[in-house]
Amino acid sequence: AGFASIHAWTHVQHAWAHHNSLLAFATIPCAGVYFAVMIYISGLVRKAKIKQDGSFTPDEEVWAEVAEENENDVAGLCLAYLTASSAAFTITHELHEGVTGRRKPGAVHGEHTADEAHERRLHGAAEHHTML
């Protein structure tokens, strides 16, 4: 579920951002609100299901705790990835496709591939280190 969320919200980020890093960052609070609403709704559904039989068994308690932990993990993983992706876009002007890390075609300033851009950054860092 975490990687599916990353994939979905990365598509939203690409649709909004284009060449504007501020819009890339705008996906983060939108995703946060989405996750907050979905976690709230799923909590209501769990409570309704637990109240159906009139008792709160130890198994249901474990189920509720594990479900809440997983929901929080998915939200945290996705929001952290969107934050890192937005920061990387601000620095490199490249959007990447979800968890694959591939460059999104047409979302790069310049004509270099992701591998060429990585090599250029490494070369530039090595030159800077040599100058020190």
Residue 4, pLDDT > 70, answer yes
Q: Which residue has the tokens 């030159």?
A: 127
Give the CA count within 13 Å in the CB-facing half-sphere of 80.
Answer: 9
Q: Count other Cβ atoms within 10 Å, centred on residue 47.
A: 11
Q: In which region does residue 44 sit, left (phi positive, over 0), alpha (psi from -120 to 50) or beta (all else)?
A: alpha
H or E stretch at 132: none
List pLDDT tens digits, range 8-55. Answer: 888 888 888 877 888 889 999 999 999 999 999 999 999 898 888 888
Give the list of residues 6+ apart from residue 68 with CB closer than 8 angstroms, or none.
39, 43
How far is residue 110 from each of residues 25, 39, 67, 102, 105, measured CA to CA in Å?
22, 41, 45, 16, 11
List pLDDT tens digits, range 53-94. Answer: 888 888 888 989 999 999 999 999 999 999 998 998 888 887
SS3 assignment, position 72: helix
What pLDDT does 73 receive? 94
| pTM score, whole prediction | 0.68
